Chains A and B, each alone.
Chain A
Amino acid sequence: AQSVAQPEDQVNVAEGNPLTVKCTYSVSGNPYLFWYVQYPNRGLQFLLKYITGDNLVKGSYGFEAEFNKSQTSFHLKKPSALVSDSALYFCAVRPNNAGNMLTFGGGTRLMVKP
């Protein structure tokens, strides 16, 4: 069975500073990894994914994530945070060889302060 851990319930960062939202996973075989963002009272929006290839994945709104197989991590990063980035971020995983149902982490609330 797969699992995802987002160890921080909340991350606080000042506008203009770099941000990191952490994610570690456990899955049988090779993973497909995803990041989604949820703004208040909205559905989840796809940000980026890792399928194969380059470990550094670039996505929407200037976000990127780095796949680290040895550390089983897929941390979300952005060089310069915006107040509008404040939202709930979810990491998700599924194995690349069985089924298509995602397992989500518990979510991390990102607060960017002016």
Chain B
Amino acid sequence: DTAVSQTPKYLVTQMGNDKSIKCEQNLGHDTMYWYKQDSKKFLKIMFSYNNKELIINETVPNRFSPKSPDKAHLNLHINSLELGDSAVYFCASSQEGLAGDTQYFGPGTRLTVL
């Protein structure tokens, strides 16, 4: 059983389009995250979200927005896609207050903007 799942696995789209990536976790965690991994494999946190608070990394453009229909889902919506948005996007989840809040990652979504 997949703990953190993401769809789609691959996403190829044109500049200027709007797209969404979905994330679901079945771990019962209360906090979810989005990370971006660039072509050099560098990982950067984009958002942290639970039912109390959304924390946004200040370097993330406002074209990116997380949307959470419920505690088990945190979708990433991207407006007006740019070439530089091409990357692998990882969703993760953790349980706040549970010994270090270990984060568990999804398999990633490879976004290619043409």
Contact = CB atoms under 8 A, between A and B. Distances in A.
Interface stretch (A16-24, A78-86, A97-105): A97-105
Interface in A69-114: 88, 90, 94, 96, 99-104, 106-107
B103 interface: yes
Residue with the highest number of chain B CB atoms closer than 10 Å, among A43, A49, A99, A106:
A43
Contacts of B106: 43
A14 interface: no
B105 A49 contact: no
Interface stretch (B14-22, B65-73, B74-82, B92-100): B92-100
Contacts of B48: 99-101
A43 B90 contact: yes
A101 B46 CA distance: 9
Interface of A: 32, 34, 36, 38, 42-46, 49, 51, 88, 90, 94, 96, 99-104, 106-107
A90 B100 contact: no
B43 A49 contact: no
Per DSSP, chain A at the interface is strand
A32 B33 CA distance: 17
Closest 5 CB pairs of A and B: A44-B105, A104-B43, A43-B105, A51-B100, A43-B107
B57 A106 contact: no
Contacts of A88: 41
A46 B55 contact: no
A99 B55 contact: yes
B42 A46 contact: no
